[in-house]
Structure 1
Amino acid sequence: MPPDPYRPTVISIAAEHVEDAYVWDNSPGEVGGLDPSVLVDMGADAALLARLSAWNDTYGQLAVTDFQWRAEQSEAEWAEEGLQLALELQRQLPGIEVHYGNHGVDPSCPSLRQQLGLPPLPAVARPGDDERRSDLYAYAPLSGATHRAHEAGATASE
């Protein structure tokens, strides 16, 4: 039996100057762009994703207008349109958490689930996340210091 296709648990809708680069995967252990067709496979309406693509294209076209908004649409109207599209996506995909805006997942902002009155989803931890985190480290070439993942009661660097 083939493995189940990947299904994100947390996404953000945020415009980008690249075509079809408006869906960002913020699931535990994942960071980066997500092909919108994955959302169709999960039950999102293709027409909604076409509207989201057109919304993103409006943002993408700003580069050729010296970042001037068209007279018929202000930046605030465009942002509100994106919020409404993201809310509709959240309604269509109640099994995932949808966020809106370039901030990604900001715990200080209410999620779209909360705005719609949907119950929170249970926390999802992927098997092996703890082991991978303990193996993370960063090397700071200017100071020569090595920094390991922070653990409770430990110092931030060695």
Structure 2
Amino acid sequence: MNENGLAPRLSLVTLGVADVARARAFYEALGWRAASASTPEVAFFPLAGAVLALFGRNALADDANVSPAGDGFSGFALAHNVESVARVDAVIAHALACGARLVRGPRKTEWGGYSAYFSDPDGHLWEVAHNPFFPLDADGRVVLPETPVEGAA
């Protein structure tokens, strides 16, 4: 990478939400802890290597100078990888108990793993997956293989 290039890292993921307090309560119910830097206008949740921010949808659109209109599939999903099939089931059950909506129930995948999808109260998609081809390190971060794995999406 040259010195003016975009470094290959993700610092923050900011989700535009209808109600910051409601969204914050949902993620806290999942067991996440909001950082002390959070305010009524924005909530920050430290993650392994990045930060999840919850910001008003209209305010986020205004900040980016785009229209906040538009519902439905946003073209991306957030993913949470876990160490086993049993953990997928447990995480999905916990998310549903916290107010998530089940989008696709847990099942074996065509790529050799096991996953499910839920949406948060604002419709943001989360995949919970066990991928036997992408092990997790001691900090829970995905370890990508050195060579391509056939069918391991």
After TM superposition, the score normalised by the length of structure 2 is 0.29
More helix by share: 1
After TM superposition, the score normalised by the length of structure 1 is 0.28
More strand by share: 2
